Amino acid sequence: MADLKIAIILGSTRPGRNGKAVADWVLDKAKARSAADYELVDLADYPLPHYDEPVPASFGQYEGEHTKKWAAKIASYDGFLFVTPEYNHSTSGVLKNAIDHIYGEWNNKAAAFVSYGSLGGARAIEHLRAITSELQIAHVRQQLSFSLFTDFENFSTFVPGPQHEDAVVTLFDQLESWTRALKTVRS
């Protein structure tokens, strides 16, 4: 068992979502790694209402049991790998809502991004970079962007191109390195 725990956060709850296949592919690649333990965190398993806490998340005074459960889950990780669709030039509302529900549990940790969409989801990642920066999450340079046109058959069956094999190794290397460095910052 590695001393680093990294969550692969599946940022879509949409019925028939393509993200599950993408997240499963990332998790399968992560299983070959020994520097960190990776776990899939599916937002479908954490049904959060629209942000409903009376006090800003930065105060850490969560009242809702759903928020406390989510905060405890996220607090248990050292780093994150966000798998996001691109909806209307941004990330999904459900992922943004989950991120906004808590604050301190994200701080001084590392993140990487994997996206999918008609343009590979690049704009979703750009928005997530700005959002996570505000949460004091250090994000790595390497990202993966899967095109609905070239990495999916009939826009629904995930068949990633071979060019992603080297890119995912670089992504894991960077994420694990930064996650380890930030663990020392938190201690």
Residue ranges per structural domain of the chain: 5-186
The residue to which tokens 């959002």 are assigned: 131
Residue 157: what pLDDT?
96
Q: Which amino acid does the sequence have at 65? A: E
pLDDT by residue, tens only, the chain of 187 residues: 789 999 999 999 999 999 999 999 999 999 999 999 999 999 999 999 999 999 999 999 999 999 999 999 999 999 999 999 999 999 999 999 999 999 999 999 999 999 999 999 999 999 999 999 999 999 999 999 999 999 999 999 999 999 999 999 999 999 999 999 999 999 8
CATH level 2 (architecture), domain 5-186: 3-Layer(aba) Sandwich (3.40)
Burial 43-72 (b: 16+ CB within 10 A, else e): beebebeeeebeeebeeeebebeebeebbe
Residue 155 tokens read as 């826009």
Dihedrals φ, ψ of 97, to 5°?
-65, -45
Residue 28: what pLDDT?
98
Residue 45: what pLDDT?
97
* DSSP-assigned beta bridge partners for residue 8: 40, 81
The pairing of strands 5-10 and 152-153 is: unpaired
CB proximity list for 132: less than 8 A, separation 6 or greater? 99, 106, 111, 139
3-class SS at 80? strand
3-class SS at 65? helix
